[in-house]
Amino acid sequence: MTKKLSVGIIGAGRIASVHVQSLAAIPEVHIAAIADIVLPSAQAYADQFGIAKVYDDYRKIIDDPAIDAVYIISSTDTHTEIMTAAAQAKKHIFCEKPIALDLKEIDTVLDVVKKSGVTLMVGFNRRYDAGNMELRKAVMDGSIGTPEMCIINSRDPAPPPMEYVKVSGGIFLDMMIHDFDLARYLLDDEPEEIFAQGACLIEPEIGKFGDYDTAMVTIRFKKGALCHIDNSRRAVYGYDQRAEVFGEKGKVYTANIHENNAVKVSVGGYSQPPIQNFFLERYLDAYRREAKWFVDCVTKGEKPLAGGLDGKVSVCMGYAAIKSAKEHRPVLLSEIC
């Protein structure tokens, strides 16, 4: 067997679970180390997955010459510091979204990464979802002709805890950022202008922080297509994730995925089980494909589906949406970055 790719995990929170699992299942990968400022969190993963080295300081991973690549899945405010260190140590980088919430900081780190020549992949997992990839393919191969509209419906099953909401950056930077990125990916185009409407209909506490729990956005893209995105923090029936691209020759869309494929029929009609409720369950295959893709980027010269620029533009779109909702007018992306 050829040498395995040696990976260090930085960050051992909830999201680490899916990334570590996905990496562990790839025969070409060796998870060499895991670090978290909360050592017991890192230790728990190490125990379960047989990871030999456990640290409370990510620098131990950066300094380990045997490690080829790092998974930066720590809290957002630590990303750019760690990315900078990793790039300088010539380690390939997988970084969870968003890269950072400060645009200047993003520019600076992307510059460092570029100069270092390492691979950077940003964790927009939905680009690796089989359905979304099929939509992208239909757009790229001309099946639907020139895209004219894109409709994304994206709703969480339940609002996150208020402590999370307070530091999240708000619905546009925390939640809709995924949909902003997906729209760019599906349309293969750049946004020009955004109009955003926000409302607080579910949890009044959210409104107290100037945030929204319900939002609709209209985006005009450079090649002319219009895009609608809606978000809700509470879809009681599950994790509602649908996208549609409409063009001159037809359309392509994704349907939700039910918990199982059984249908019950009675006097009252037909019933299907709820859709998959949790993002880890819904996008498990996407996370697995993403991890494999990252490995292929490093080892086989594959290109990331989402790189540094994608990480930046999605944040710009979030700020444009926030500005639009506050100022109650369409905002040009050129006003932001």
Q: From the CB of 192, what's the least distance to a second copy, in Å?
A: 11
Shortest distance in whole angstroms from residue 264 CB to a second copy: 5
Residue 2 touching a second copy (CB under 8 A): no
Phi/psi region, residue 122 (left: phi>0; alpha: psi -120 to 50; beta: rest), is: beta
Residue 17 sits in the site that holds a second copy (CB under 8 A): no
Among 41, 74, 154, 254, binds a second copy (CB under 8 A): 254
Tell whether residue 280 is a contact of a second copy (CB under 8 A): no
Q: Which of the stretches 55-63, 107-115, 235-243, 291-299 binds a second copy when contact is defined by CB under 8 A?
A: 235-243
Please tell me whether residue 56 adopts helix, strand or coil conformation.
coil
Residue 201 found at the interface with a second copy (CB under 8 A): yes
Q: Interface with a second copy by CB under 8 A: which range of 59-67, 71-79, 116-124, 217-225?
A: 217-225
Please state, in angstroms and rounded to a whole number, the distance separating the CA atoms of residues 306 and 183: 13
Q: How far is the CB of 310 from a second copy (least distance, A)?
A: 21
Q: Between 108 and 256, whose beta carbon lies closer to a second copy?
A: 256
State the minimum distance, in angstroms, from the CB of residue 191 to a second copy.
13
210 binds a second copy (CB under 8 A): no
Cβ 216 to a second copy, closest distance in Å?
Answer: 5
Binding flag, residue 332, a second copy (CB under 8 A): no
CB of 118 or CB of 227, closer to a second copy? 227
Q: Which residue matches tokens 């039910």?
A: 258
- Structure token digits, residue 291: 């991890």
Tell me the closest approach of the beta carbon of residue 250 to a second copy, in angstroms.
4
Judged by CB under 8 A, the chain residues 300 through 319 that form the site for a second copy are none
Helix, strand, or coil here: 273?
Answer: coil
User: What b/e sequence results for 311-325 when a residue is b if at least 16 CB atoms lie within 10 Å of its CB, and e otherwise?
Assistant: bbbbbbbbbbbbbbb
CA-to-CA distance for 296 and 28, rounded, in angstroms? 10
Scanning residues 144 to 173, which ones bind a second copy (CB under 8 A)? 144, 146, 148-149, 151, 153, 155
Size of the site for a second copy (CB under 8 A): 73
Judged by beta carbon, residue 57 or residue 327, the one nearer a second copy is: 327
Rounded to whole angstroms, the Cα distance separating 54 from 109 reads 27
Site string for a second copy, 54-93 (x = CB under 8 A): ----------------------------------------
The residue within the footprint of a second copy, chosen from 2, 268, 300, 301 (CB under 8 A), is 268
With CA atoms as reference, report the closest residue to 333 among 215, 200, 227, 198.
227
DSSP string covering 287-337 = HHHHHHHHHHHHHH-PPPSS-HHHHHHHHHHHHHHHHHHHHTS-EEGGGT-
Contact between 204 and a second copy by CB under 8 A: the answer reads: no
249, exposed or middle or buried, with CB in 10 Å at 0-12, 13-18, 19+?
exposed
Write the CB contacts of 27 (distance below 8 Å, at least 6 apart in sequence).
4
CB closer to a second copy, 78 vs 256: 256
Euclidean distance between CA atoms 56 and 42, whole angstroms = 8
Site for a second copy contains 131 (CB under 8 A)? yes
